[in-house]
């Protein structure tokens, strides 16, 4: 499966990573950081070419992704759901591409029942044969919490889940950054299921 440079494969049906849409024009620093990451990814993986937002989304869909779980908040980033609707209306894909936003505040943790909702949705999508892409802004904090709790739900200890995420992210251009991102987020994963 070919996926964008800031994404990683969690399982046969799940990949995770950064926001596949465009950055918000009113947040210059986000655009700057995104461009920096795109250039860094190109330097690290020149054979993949340059990955702007359109190429990221299209590459995920071409890899079979048909269910996007967006952990960002409303108004945090420009929506890309309109791009998915356009692809669905003009496409000859065998499955409709789904988009679901389940927001988690940046650098924080969700309530226990919210995490249960997210994990139940992931398991439901897997059961129906869908391929899922889980993301937040950079694919670190909120994405790391969800992937970590998913691993715990499916047999890992919290510490094993965090180590597994680090292992899966080892070849990413931003692999020096931790996922989950904050101490509170890591503790949330470590204590999940206890």
CATH number at residue 11: 3.90.190.10
Indicate whether 79 belongs to any domain.
yes
Per-residue pLDDT tens digits for 7-19: 999 999 999 999 9
pTM: 0.91
What pLDDT is stored for residue 25 in this prediction?
59
Indicate whether 161 belongs to any domain.
no
Indicate whether 96 belongs to any domain.
yes
pLDDT value at 26 more than 70: no
Indicate whether 184 belongs to any domain.
no
Distance (Å, rounded) from C-alpha 1 to C-alpha 188? 30
> Torsion-angle region of residue 49: left (phi > 0), alpha (psi -120 to 50) or beta?
left
Indicate whether 169 belongs to any domain.
no
Distances (CA, A) of 190 to 18, 81, 142, 159: 23, 33, 14, 6
Distance (Å, rounded) from C-alpha 37 to C-alpha 67? 24
Edge-to-edge order in the sheet of strand 132-135: 7-11, 14-17, 132-135, 67-70, 98-101
Q: Say if CB 12 and CB 65 are below 8 A apart.
A: no
Indicate whether 94 belongs to any domain.
yes
Distances (CA, A) of 88 to 62, 85, 127: 13, 5, 22
**Can you give the residue range of the structural domain that contains 88?**
7-139
What pLDDT is stored for residue 37 in this prediction?
75
* Cα R_g (the chain), whole angstroms: 16
| Mean pLDDT over each residue of the chain, to the nearest integer | 90
Per-residue pLDDT tens digits for 158-186: 999 999 999 999 988 889 999 999 999 99
Q: Residue 16: count other Cβ atoms within 10 Å of its Cβ.
A: 28
The better pLDDT of the pair 2, 179 is held by 179
- Which of 35-39, 45-49, 89-93, 151-155 has maximum average pLDDT? 151-155
Indicate whether 90 belongs to any domain.
yes
For the chain, how many structural domains are there in total? 1
Indicate whether 167 belongs to any domain.
no
Q: Residue 127: count other Cβ atoms within 10 Å of its Cβ.
A: 9
């Amino acid at each position: 499966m070919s996926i964008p440079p800031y994404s990683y494969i969690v399982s046969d049906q799940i990949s995770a990573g950064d926001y596949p849409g465009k950055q918000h024009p009113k947040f210059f620093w986000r655009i700057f950081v995104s461009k920096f990451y795109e250039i860094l990814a190109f330097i690290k993986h020149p054979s993949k070419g340059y990955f702007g937002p359109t190429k990221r989304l299209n590459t995920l869909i071409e890899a079979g992704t048909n269910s996007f779980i967006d952990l960002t908040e409303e108004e945090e980033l420009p929506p890309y759901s309109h791009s998915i609707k356009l692809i669905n209306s003009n496409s000859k894909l065998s499955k409709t591409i789904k988009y679901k936003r389940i927001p988690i505040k940046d650098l924080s943790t969700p309530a226990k029942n919210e995490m249960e909702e997210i994990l139940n949705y992931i398991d439901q999508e897997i059961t129906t044969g869908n391929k899922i892409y889980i993301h937040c802004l950079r694919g670190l904090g909120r994405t790391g919490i969800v992937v970590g709790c998913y691993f715990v739900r499916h047999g890992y200890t919290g510490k094993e889940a965090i180590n597994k995420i680090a292992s899966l992210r080892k070849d990413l251009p931003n692999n020096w950054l931790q996922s989950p991102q904050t101490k509170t987020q890591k503790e949330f994963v470590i204590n999940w299921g206890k």
